[in-house]
Chains A and B, each alone.
Chain A
Amino acid sequence: MARKLDISSLGKRFGALEALCGIDVEVERGEFICVVGPSGCGKTTLLRIVAGLEPATSGTILLDGKRVDGPGRNRGFVFQNDSLLPWRTVLANALIGPEVAGRVGAKERQRTLELLNLVGLGGFEHYYPRQLSGGMRQRVNLARALAIDPDVLLMDEPFAALDAQTREIMQSELLRIWEQGRKTVLFVTHQIDEAVFLADRVLVLARRPGRLQETVRIKLPRPRQLDVKRKPEFVDYVDHIWRLIEHDVRASVIDERQ
Chain B
Amino acid sequence: MWGAVRRNYLAGTLSVIGGLVLWEVVSRYLIANALLLAAPSEILRAIYRLTLSGEMGRHVAVSSAEFAIGYAIASVIGIGLGFGMANSPTFRQALQPWISGLYATPTIALAPLFILWLGIGIWSKVLVVITLVLFPVTINTEAGLRHTSDRLIEMLRSFGANRRQIFVKVSLPSALPFILAGLKLGIGRGLIGVVVAELFGARAGLGELISASADSFNMPELFAAVVVLAVAGIAMTAAFTWLETKLVPWTKD
Binding site for B on A (CB under 8 A): 51-53, 70-73, 75, 77, 79, 81, 83, 85-87, 96-97, 99-101, 128-130, 148
Contact = CB atoms under 8 A, between A and B. Distances in A.
B154 A53 contact: yes
A243 to B, nearest CB: 35
Interface in B45-103: none
Given A81-B151, A85-B170, A87-B173, A96 B250 contact: no
A81 B151 CA distance: 8
B157 A96 contact: no
A5 to B, nearest CB: 16
Interface string B119-161: 0000000000000000000000000000000011011111111
A53 B253 contact: no
B157 A53 contact: yes
Contacts of A73: 159-160
- Max count, chain B CB within 10 A of own CB: residue among A51, A53, A100, A129: A100
Contacts of A79: 151, 154-155, 158
23 contacts: A53-B154, A70-B160, A71-B159, A73-B159, A77-B155, A77-B158, A79-B154, A83-B151, A83-B152, A83-B155, A85-B169, A85-B170, A85-B173, A96-B155, A96-B169, A97-B159, A99-B169, A100-B159, A100-B165, A101-B160, A128-B250, A130-B250, A130-B253
A129 B152 CA distance: 14
B248 interface: yes
Nearest to A75: B158
Contacts of B248: 87
Contacts of B152: 83, 85
